[in-house]
Structure 1
Amino acid sequence: MKILIVEDDHRAAKLLAAALTEIGHTPVVATDGRAALSLASAEMFDAVLLDVMLPHLDGVSVARALRERGLSTPILMLTALGDLDDRLAGLDAGADDYLVKPAEPLEIEARIKAIKRRAERTSETGVLRAGDVEVNEIKFRAVRNGRLLVLPKLEFQVLCELVRHRNSVVTRAMFYSSVWGFDFEPTTNIVESYIRRVRVQLTLNGEEDPIVTVRGVGYMMTGEG
């Protein structure tokens, strides 16, 4: 795979590039945000490994700009251990996943393949339904009874997870894994906060709330597929 590494630490970028080359990939290095945006827009990459703190243009801004330009290339944010705010900001901006630095080449490879598999699973129609709620994962579009729902990326992914498992409980752990890529439970109430935002959109015109809270477990979307 051709992988764009965006890292301003020259030594770290060189070591990561060498390790990826060793397992059969073709890395290209950019050391600032502007160069990364230019390269990712001009060339085809299988994935972008994007550091958050960069000269000229930070990683979150780069991710947002790439998505605004319509690029669907998998983006993995590189964050320091414990920087939850950086991870959330990157995911909100359009990143697909995150990795804690220093990232292991084999894990990078596995994460990229997982992102591609998820895209392939929804490539036929991408449409999911629960009652009068419909989401299209390919077009990034959600409607309720014909009314367009205005949802940023993470809220949209939360809704997709609920619709995908309609009439079944989606646990907090499932949300953490599928939406945020966490393999642990944060101490903050992230899921509750995003569910609340989704509910606002679903009931904007006074409609009945289709999301049921299963206390102590998670949430369930009601409705037929």
Structure 2
Amino acid sequence: MRLLIADDDARAARQLASALEAFGHEPVLTGDGRTALALATRETFGAALFELVLPYVGGVELTQALREQGLDMPIIILSVHGELADRLAGLAAGADDYLVKPVAPVEIDARLQAILRRAARIGDRGVMRAGDIEVNEVKYRAVRAGRALALPKLEFQMLCELVRNKNAIVTRDMFYRKVWRYEAEPATNVVESYIRRLRARLNAAGEHDPIETIRGVGYMLIDQG
């Protein structure tokens, strides 16, 4: 699982990341809350681990900001501060758990798996599939053939539109209205540029390109499942 880890103690973060890699996770590290906020809103992560005290934006404020933007990925706050007020503030902001350091990586992994199991029991809200591609609009996740896709926000939204309208044409105008919220199509080739980026992230070596270009009109995601 792709994990976003925000901790201003670079050495401790690297040690934690190395330990979590042994459980099959793919950690992405940052040392401040402002960068973590930008990464979380641009890219796709399965879960996040935030230190309570961070430069620029603290763990509680970071969690609250992400929840206000509708991001539903599991978030665990880690801190040496174990006071009740700190724990309550983290949970009230939307964190799924609050762990007091020192905490063993095996427990962090176990907590993450427990959160994911609870989320799975809620059901497949927001899940759409086309062939080997699956997107979850609620949890902001995209997967192809079991491989998590690290998609920036606009590319994720474009993929959602393509999957939602699989085997049908998504016009440039539809992209502008649904993704960019434009009322009229601007005189640019921004859609074409973003489709190229989406294809680069969507298609691994040896995989077919499921996005068909309908020249002069738009694009179609072919469901070969």
The letter of the residue matching 1:104 is: A
Structure 1 residue 103: Cα displacement: 2.6
1 CA distance for matches of 2:9 and 2:68?
27
Q: Residues 6 and 124 of structure 1: is their aligned pair in 2 closer, same or farther, counting only changes over 3 Å?
A: closer
Alignment correspondent of 1:31 = 31
* Deviation digits for residues 74-120 of structure 1 (CA, Å, limit 9, x no counterpart): 00010225322111101000001111113322111111111111112
Alignment correspondent of 2:143 = none
| 1:114 to 2:134 alignment | no
1 CA distance for matches of 2:34 and 2:81?
25
Choose between structure 1 and 2 for higher RCO, CA contacts under 8 A separated by at least 6 residues: 2
1 CA distance for matches of 2:124 and 2:18?
37
CA contact (8 A) 1:7 1:51 kept: yes
Q: How does 1:61-210 map to 2 (within 5 A)?
A: 61-80=61-80, 82-123=82-123
Q: Residues 56 and 107 of structure 1: is their aligned pair in 2 closer, same or farther, counting only changes over 3 Å?
A: same
Percent identity, aligned pairs only, is 55
Alignment correspondent of 1:45 = 45
1 CA distance for matches of 2:82 and 2:74?
22
2 CA distance for matches of 1:83 and 1:34?
25
The letter of the residue matching 1:94 is: G
CA-based RMSD of the aligned residues comes to 1.7
CA contact (8 A) 1:8 1:30 kept: yes
* Deviation digits for residues 160-203 of structure 1 (CA, Å, limit 9, x no counterpart): xxxxxxxxxxxxxxxxxxxxxxxxxxxxxxxxxxxxxxxxxxxx
Alignment correspondent of 2:208 = none
Q: Residues 122 and 37 of structure 1: is their aligned pair in 2 closer, same or farther, counting only changes over 3 Å?
A: same
1 CA distance for matches of 2:56 and 2:2?
24
State how many pairs are aligned.
Answer: 126
| Farther-moved stretch of structure 1 (86-95 vs 99-108) | 99-108
The letter of the residue matching 2:104 is: E
| 1:57 to 2:54 alignment | no
The letter of the residue matching 1:46 is: G
Alignment correspondent of 2:12 = 12
2 CA distance for matches of 1:124 and 1:54?
34
Alignment correspondent of 1:159 = none
2 CA distance for matches of 1:3 and 1:16?
11
CA contact (8 A) 2:23 2:109 kept: no
The letter of the residue matching 1:116 is: L
1 CA distance for matches of 2:124 and 2:23?
32
Give the 3-state SS of the residue equivalent to 1:5 in structure 2.
strand
CA contact (8 A) 1:77 1:97 kept: yes
CA contact (8 A) 1:4 1:27 kept: yes
